[in-house]
Structure 1
Amino acid sequence: MTPVATPYGLGDASPQSITVHKLTGRNFISWSKSVMMYICGRGKDDFLTGFVPRHDAGDPKLRLWKADNNMVMSWLINSTTPEIGENFLLYDTAKDIWDAAPEAYSCKDNSAELFAIETTLQPLCQGENTVTVYFTKLTQLWRQLDMFEQFYWRCPQDEQRYKAIIEQRRLFKFLLGLNNDLDDVRGRILGTKPLSSL
């Protein structure tokens, strides 16, 4: 379907799935990030933030606003499970849905998600994988951890120091998981001063 020009950007009325991360009630952070990425890419994120206000009755722009708002609402509803989407059908604007989603489905401490990632991460080693595949799997899990772990620092120096500690621990995890036939490489890396980055 051809995008339609509107005052707020390019519209796309296609009923496509906008993300593989459907909101299930237990994956709010990954869902919200992937949905926002899609909607920002379409130039419609102002409908989530409320930056584009609803026009008054009689304003000729109201019809276009409604069309864009309903399109964004349909993207949000179609990116959820049917049970969650059924509830969101009762809202009037995309912003209403966007504001309600974290209240209902965001877990403040993300403990369940963090535990699931750590459960996969801890025993992970190279095994039959190439070094590249092993590293890619580790990196994917570490990025998920970074997404779920949200820290608020009082000073930038503490944040930088923490990141350096995490980087060192991840290097150790990577090296520990390498197969035994790479002991020489592991030893050379550990012998470098300062230690190499991942």
Structure 2
Amino acid sequence: MEQMIQMFQKLNKLNNQTENPTSVKISEKLIYHNYTKWCKLMHVAIGGRGRLSHITVVPPPPSDPNYVQWEQRDAMVISWIIENIDGEIVNQFLDYTTAQSLWLGFERLLGYGRDELQIFDLSSKAATMKQGNDTIETYYGKLNMLWKDIDRRMPNPMTCSQDITEFNRYIQRQRLYQFLNGIHDNIDKERREILNSVPLPMVEIAYATIKREITRRRIMNGLSSLGTNPSDIGSGLATRNKAFQKSREEDDRSKLRCTHCGGSRHIRKDASRLWDTLSGGTIYRNSGPPPRHRQAGPAARPT
């Protein structure tokens, strides 16, 4: 029983540490040009600790009976945010009294007024990007990074669930066009097949289809994904099979013995097919059954 109590106490202590950590650190500190990425990372970090309402919901009034407790938690959220701001700009954000007002301050100073130009630049790059010398994986990865940057700066503006779905379909269709427009022309057949599909596939599915076709062509053309020529693989297997078959034949003949000459590895009826026989340093062809080999002298000749 005591062990159970101790275990629950440890779990409770661990949960308190998780819900109220003294510090939160993300991979990047806020500077002028990384606001969108930093905002996303910080949003996830705060939400993962159950304090997302402190930056998204209007603070309770001071007359609220739980205001003191809320204020303590809000101060902790502010400290999480402040410690993830670069030292060169942190002084601009020290006068905010709540986490929500601080979050809105970031949005006013670093969000609006800069994003339209960035969205234009990112959209132009995505619309004109070509595969070029890149692999299909690299090309799609670059496009996907641009799309994510655009989404962070220009989220779905719809509020109705049906409108949100229709807007996402529209964006998916535009990105499918961008992806197919940039791939090499030797994939034109597969590109036309995708565009003729009803309904149009998502861009991720189109990418997977194109990637499979390119991989198939590499294999058929002798360029396997492992960098080994498939014909070499086939030749190696054929050579191993021949060697194995020859080894089995030799094992099978090792038990044979000729009743005519007393030799091994053949029988009497095969004697007429024996190849050139070496005798006394001279090679001659024996057209008939070989004679019994004499045991005396190196220059022994057939009788």
| Amino acid across the alignment from 1:30 | K
Q: Specify the alignment match of 2:250 in structure 1.
A: none
Larger mean Cα displacement after TM superposition, 152-161 or 37-46: 152-161
Higher relative contact order (CA 8 A, sep 6+): 1
| Amino acid across the alignment from 1:5 | N
How much has 1:165 moved relative to structure 2?
3.7
Aligned mates of 1:31, 1:196 — CA distance in 2:
32
Shift of the 106–190 alpha-carbon distance from structure 1 to 2, 3 Å rule, reads closer
Aligned mates of 1:99, 1:160 — CA distance in 2:
28
Residue pair 2:74, 2:99 contacting (<8 A) in 1 also: yes
Question: Which of 126, 130, 138 is 1:133 aligned to?
Answer: 138
Report whether the alignment pairs 1:30 with 2:41: no
Question: Which of 3, 10, 19 is 2:19 aligned to?
Answer: 10
| Amino acid across the alignment from 1:18 | I
Report whether the alignment pairs 1:146 with 2:151: yes
Q: Specify the alignment match of 1:41 in structure 2.
A: 48
Q: Specify the alignment match of 2:277 in structure 1.
A: none
TM-score, normalised relative to structure 1: 0.72
Report whether the alignment pairs 1:95 with 2:95: no
| Amino acid across the alignment from 1:187 | R
Question: What SS is found at the alignment partner of 2:200?
Answer: coil
Question: Which of 75, 78, 84 is 1:73 aligned to?
Answer: 78
Report whether the alignment pairs 1:187 with 2:198: no
Aligned residues: 190
Q: Specify the alignment match of 2:122 in structure 1.
A: 117
| Amino acid across the alignment from 1:192 | S
Shift of the 38–151 alpha-carbon distance from structure 1 to 2, 3 Å rule, reads closer
| Amino acid across the alignment from 2:43 | M
TM-score, normalised relative to structure 2: 0.50
Residue pair 1:3, 1:12 contacting (<8 A) in 2 also: no
How much has 1:26 moved relative to structure 2?
4.6
Identity %: 28
CA offsets 1:29-73 (integer angstroms, 9 cap, x no match): 4333321111010112233246675889xx9x95x7665434322
| Amino acid across the alignment from 1:17 | K
Shift of the 47–193 alpha-carbon distance from structure 1 to 2, 3 Å rule, reads closer
Shift of the 3–35 alpha-carbon distance from structure 1 to 2, 3 Å rule, reads farther
CA offsets 1:53-95 (integer angstroms, 9 cap, x no match): 5889xx9x95x76654343222212222323311222333323
Residue pair 1:48, 1:94 contacting (<8 A) in 2 also: yes
How much has 1:177 moved relative to structure 2?
0.9
- Unmatched tracts of structure 2, length 5 or more: 1-12, 204-303
Residue pair 2:126, 2:178 contacting (<8 A) in 1 also: no
Aligned mates of 2:202, 2:128 — CA distance in 1:
22
How much has 1:27 moved relative to structure 2?
4.5
| Amino acid across the alignment from 2:39 | S
- Please tell me whether Structure 1 or Structure 2 has the larger radius of gyration of its CA atoms: 2
Shift of the 158–95 alpha-carbon distance from structure 1 to 2, 3 Å rule, reads closer
